[in-house]
Structure 1
Amino acid sequence: MRKIIVATLCCVPFISFDILYAHEHGSLEAHEHGKIDINVALNHNVLALEVDGPAASITGFEYAPSSTTDKEVAKLAKQQLENPLVLFAIAHNAQCTLTTTNVEGAVFGSAKEKDVHKAESGHEEKEAHHHSDIEAQYSFTCKQPDALKQLDFANFFKVFPLTKQINLQYIGTEGQKGANLTSTNSQFKLNQ
């Protein structure tokens, strides 16, 4: 799916390489529970969304689930992430059809854990803290892309209440911008 985001973005002549670098090499910000990064790109009739963040912001844990309860939580979270039309309110009149979905994460048994940072004591590293991220990529083909005026993430916050903030980056034909969204401020205007 990264190829879809990059392919979508390479057609936009004003792309900031800082955003591409941040995505390809991890977020510029630290791994923070309760926060999710979402990249959105709109190019002609292709809408691409990419979700990346700590598994704890989605499931409440970052370890490989072993208990029946944790396995059920992980299974349900993956099923919910695989249904982006419920998570993201996309204008019906834009006539967007989901073309690809990819959801990965160590809590799902589908990605390797990332060693995000190490705790240090003095000058010597004592203990490594492993953090698991969840990554999801979605691509839509829209018959009426001009009808895409905004995206609403209210359902994402409802489905995943451990997510307190979405750090959104948007790139479209009019330029690029970003926003920090919360459950009480969940709408993002694409063209303003």
Structure 2
Amino acid sequence: MYLKHIALTASLMTPFVLVALGASADEKHEHDHDQEHRQHDAHVHGITALNLALEGEEVHIELDSPAANIVGFEHAPSSEADHAALDEAVAALKNGDQLFRFNNEAGCRMEEAIVTSALLEEEHDDYPDKHSDDHDHEGKGEHGHEEHEGEETHSDIEVTYHFECELPAKLTQLTVELFEVFPATEVLNVQYVIESKQGARELTAKDHVVKF
């Protein structure tokens, strides 16, 4: 699955990111700096990114969203309500057949969904502490994490989906129901590669269909 993730990212990045051949070292440094700056700026609440690629009979989707769009917070889960919201969000994200509906003629069905986030790692670290004796957390947060005054927390949730399509040649449309399930998502930036076709679309709750 890791290799497929790399292949998908590479296939989607190639059409949309072009670096001039023969650029000088200074130009390349400036490009790298600008790219890093854009990556930091990419974390915008309300905006989510989706990459889609069709390879043979397989459709691979990568979803990358600020955690605030999905669970309403980006700090380490620190209460029963936080843990419940995170568990509910993960379950909804794994229901890919409901979030992403391809046109029926293609006969696509979800085979796998993998959710990753720093919040999930923190959940495993923190949750047992809720049932243990109190410890000395001087200078730290509720679950022993150091708090930095004035520091803003940014956490993302990423999901990779694998769909199998019986008739991939008939794949012409994707309807995204993400906005209904996660209403804090305002804009979905879609990039896709379907055989020889590639393109990009900006979806909203009122316009949530991509036609290939």
* Partners of 1:4 and 1:139 within 8 A in 2: no
| Identical residues among aligned pairs (%) | 34
Q: Which of 46, 55, 69 lines up with 1:34 in the alignment?
A: 46
Structure 1 residue 71, shift from structure 2 partner: 1.1
* Partners of 1:91 and 1:148 within 8 A in 2: yes
| Residue matched to 1:132 | 155
| Residue matched to 2:172 | 149
Structure with greater helix percent: 2
Partner Cα distance (2:155, 2:44) in 1: 11
TM-score normalized by structure 1?
Answer: 0.77
Q: Provide closer, same or farther for how the CA distance between residues 136 and 8 of structure 1 changes in structure 2, counting only shifts above 3 A.
A: closer
Moved more, 30-39 or 169-178: 169-178
Aligned-partner residue type, residue 167 of structure 1? N
Q: Which runs of 5+ in 1 are unaligned?
A: 112-125
Q: Does 1:175 align with 2:197?
A: yes
| Residue matched to 1:7 | 7
Structure 1 residue 161, shift from structure 2 partner: 0.4
| Residue matched to 1:85 | 97
Q: Provide runs of 4+ in structure 1 moved above 4 Å.
A: 25-29
* Partners of 1:9 and 1:41 within 8 A in 2: no
Partner Cα distance (2:104, 2:122) in 1: 32
* Partners of 2:106 and 2:166 within 8 A in 1: yes
Deviations 1:30-76, CA, capped at 9 Å, x for gaps = 21001100000012211010000100011110011111111111110
Q: Which of 50, 58, 66 lines up with 2:78 in the alignment?
A: 66
Structure with greater strand percent: 1
Partner Cα distance (2:196, 2:91) in 1: 34
TM-score normalized by structure 2?
Answer: 0.71
- Compute the RMSD of aligned alpha carbons: 2.9
> Which of the two has higher C-alpha Rg?
2
